[in-house]
Amino acid sequence: MTREELFKRNQQLSTEFELYLLEHPEIEEKIPDNAMIVLVPEYDKELSEKNIELAQANKEPGQTIVYVRVEKLRTSRDVRSS
């Protein structure tokens, strides 16, 4: 996976997660301050592994990591289908 592909896939995931938080603000309240949020798409093993690897490499001492499992994207938002 190139850096550009990594960026594009994560940008899509981030947008989807932000929209989810707008629809479910109670979830945001459960995320600790200064936590690193790691999006782990179940449908994309390569991206999941890379995101976990990057999170572990960039975690600050004492920082909480919150892993968010993503089962699937809404079909209209899945860039892999375009």
Does residue 14 belong to any structural domain of this protein? yes
- The reply to whether the predicted model has a pTM over 0.85 is no
Residue 60 lies in a domain: yes
Give Cα separations from 81 to 37, 58, 59, 61, 74 (angstroms). Answer: 25, 31, 32, 39, 11
Q: pLDDT by residue (tens digit) across 36-70?
A: 999 999 999 999 999 999 999 999 999 999 999 99
Question: Cα separation of 69 and 38, whole Å?
Answer: 9
Q: Are 51 and 45 in contact (CB under 8 A)?
A: no
| H or E stretch at 3 | helix 3-23
Number of compact structural domains in the chain: 1
Residue 31 lies inside a defined structural domain of this protein:
yes
Which residue range(s) make up the domain with 17?
Answer: 3-76
Do the domain assignments include residue 54? yes
The DSSP 8-state label assigned to residue 31 in this structure reads S
Structural domain includes residue 71? yes
Q: In this structure, is residue 82 part of a structural domain?
A: no
